[in-house]
Amino acid sequence: MEILAPLQGRVAHVAVSPGESVHPGSVLVVLEAMKMEHPVVASLGGEVTAVLVAPGDGVVDGQALVELIVGGGGAGASPAEVPVDLESPARGDLAEVLSRRLLLGDDSPARAAAVAARHAAGHRTVRENLADLLDPGSLEEWGGFAIAAQESRRELGELLERTPADGLVAGIGRIAGRPVAVAAYDYLVLAGTQGARNHRKKDRLFEIVERLRLPLVLFAEGGGGRPGDTDYPVIAGLDTMAFALFARLSALVPTVGIVNGFCFAGNAALLGCCDAIVATEDASIGMGGPAMIEGGGLGSFRPEEIGPAPDQAQVGVVDLLVADDAEAVAVAKRYLSYFAPAGGSYEVNDQRLLRHLVPQRRNELYEVRRVLDTLCDVGSLLELRPRFGRGIVAALGRIEGRPVGLLASNAGHLGGAIDADSADKAARHVQLCDAYDIPIVSLCDTPGFMVGPAAEQTAQVRHFGRMFLAAASATVPYVTVVLRKAYGLGAQAMAGGSFHASLLTVSWPTGEFGGMGLEGAVRLAFRRELEAAADEEARQGLYERLVASLYERGKALSMATHFEIDDVIDPAETRRRIMNVLEAAPVPAARAAKKRPMVEPW
């Protein structure tokens, strides 16, 4: 019986000799073709009578290689299989991979001291934060074996131990079963700086995020660019694509940045592009760290002095200020939940409480957050930037399980008058909601825009314009509920530009309306009559009658009578009326491109 070559190639090895007995499956000849070895095996047992080729010979497909007499000494027998130990990697190549992988984790002996110091400072490691953020076992990491590009100045073993993943954990995972991407700087690796290879990892990840349309969580702690990467040929590195690629994600996918510790320069630049920023109380955020400030001749500062998070929350940089890493992760997960489809169980507050939250006496203060909490599903309200632009509350919540964006006048600040910061906050919130198809519910109680020389020094003409422009460019359902005051341009801005710009504009019985504050309107419009009064008592009496007349004319029922608003409602039915409109609106179709070019960072 002739054993034939199964393909064209070269004889790399002859494994048998004439007179030798072979078993079924025994290797007779090894051929080499296209850099691959191809063993030719015996299909039957027998005795080799002749070997027709030698190592180095070229053979063609079908050429005889060995002659075999079937049924010889090896007939019917086959070599025993070698048992495999499934508990051991055994192979050297796999063992090397698994050994290297151990260096990535917090339990690596090389990281023990740094991890202990991290814990002593009251912070978790980046991988502990990711383990808390993501569903167990769901992280699919890219570039974990990367190291800092410093082989020419540091030993390879040191780089493997001290710079795992080049300081950036990047990949995709799941939160409550939903896919999400993560880019997480590791402060234990060269102070969380942006190295040459972790820049390439970011580029790769951000492109994947864009293709898969995944929400992204950025852990941004770190010191910015890393000048010590000597093995990567750059002069300034200003052709790095990460910042452009990350900014391109705005209005395409929800992005949330998390910061504890120090976040400066390039890390802060990425953070500033996020839709929402969550920061711990002890975080510091700045476009330049201590070295850059001192290098610019601007003085010496401790990092804690540069952009402390409470200050950044006050000026609107930080959306959500929290106590520690654990709360930051929990809040980030909660924030992302509003960008998931509606569904799940929910609990409803007794809506009759709404009848009692806005006092009947028009000058009596109340807390509008209680209105929002009662209106929304129990426990679903998440306020953004509470320390900034305090004249308007901006929040995310749910009504019957459906995510909604909420705006609400805050009578506790300037009587609900809209200043420049409040206008910026509201305009940006409208953009955020519109970009991701979240309906907007606006609760109006404002005497109008803030006025006066000091107010105009804040460039509020331009800032107020943002409210009108943002609302006019939005296409999501917009519902306005007037709680009490609705005066002038400020009220129109709270309603999306006009009481007829909203899909529904309704008022509670406490609503009062006017083109401007009624007291001021009386003083302006009836100045002659007031000046002609016989004495101060008569003047005051006339003034009060005129004001009362305007209040009667501008009360909610009068507005509804003249159809300047759609209805006056029982506060207890607010939730149902909102849902009636939202359910009537068509479900947005999936888009091939962004709805808005970006969500402004401010």
pLDDT by residue (tens digit) across 527-570? 777 777 778 887 787 777 767 776 777 789 988 988 999 999 99
The confidence band for 81, taking pLDDT boundaries of 50, 70 and 90, is low
> Quick one: pLDDT at residue 516?
62
Q: How many residues does the chain have?
A: 602
Work out the average pLDDT over 67-76: 68
Q: Considering the domain 351-511+555-584, what is its CATH architecture?
A: Alpha-Beta Complex (3.90)
Whether 80 has a pLDDT exceeding 80, the answer reads no
Question: What are the structural domain ranges in the chain?
Answer: 2-70, 99-337, 351-511+555-584, 518-554
d(CA 394, CA 316): 12
442 Cβ contact partners less than 8 Å away, ≥ 6 residues apart? 406, 407, 408, 478, 479, 480, 481, 494, 495, 496, 502
The confidence band for 79, taking pLDDT boundaries of 50, 70 and 90, is low
> Quick one: pLDDT at residue 72?
53
Whether 76 has a pLDDT exceeding 50, the answer reads no
Whether 75 has a pLDDT exceeding 50, the answer reads no
Give per-residue pLDDT as tens, 253-280: 999 999 999 999 999 999 999 999 999 9
d(CA 559, CA 500): 13
d(CA 471, CA 502): 10
Of 572 and 544, more confident: 572
Whether 473 has a pLDDT exceeding 90, the answer reads yes
CATH node for 2-70 = 2.40.50.100
Q: Taking all residues of the chain, what is their mean pLDDT, rounded to a whole number? A: 92
Please choose, from the candidates 521, 130, 153, the residue with its C-alpha nearest in 3D space to the C-alpha of residue 333.
130
Q: Considering the domain 99-337, what is its CATH architecture?
A: Alpha-Beta Complex (3.90)
Amino acid letter at 381? L
Whether 2-70 shares its CATH topology with 99-337 is answered no
Inter-residue contact 602 to 275 (CB < 8 Å): no
Residues 524, 411, 361: CA angle, nearest 5 degrees: 75
Give per-residue pLDDT as tens, 426-439: 999 999 999 999 99
Long-range Cβ contact pairs of 292-297 (< 8 A, separation 24 or more)? 292/224, 292/264, 292/265
Token couple for 453: 């020389």
Token couple for 415: 């009587």
* Cα distances (angstroms) measured from residue 467 to each of 42, 418, 472, 511: 82, 10, 9, 22
d(CA 205, CA 306): 30
Token couple for 507: 């008022």
Inter-residue contact 471 to 497 (CB < 8 Å): yes
The confidence band for 74, taking pLDDT boundaries of 50, 70 and 90, is very low
d(CA 177, CA 180): 9
Give per-residue pLDDT as tens, 3-34: 999 999 999 999 999 999 998 889 999 999 99
Taken in order 83, 86, 89, 94, is the CA torsion positive or negative?
positive
Give per-residue pLDDT as tens, 352-397: 999 999 999 888 999 999 999 999 999 999 999 999 999 999 999 9
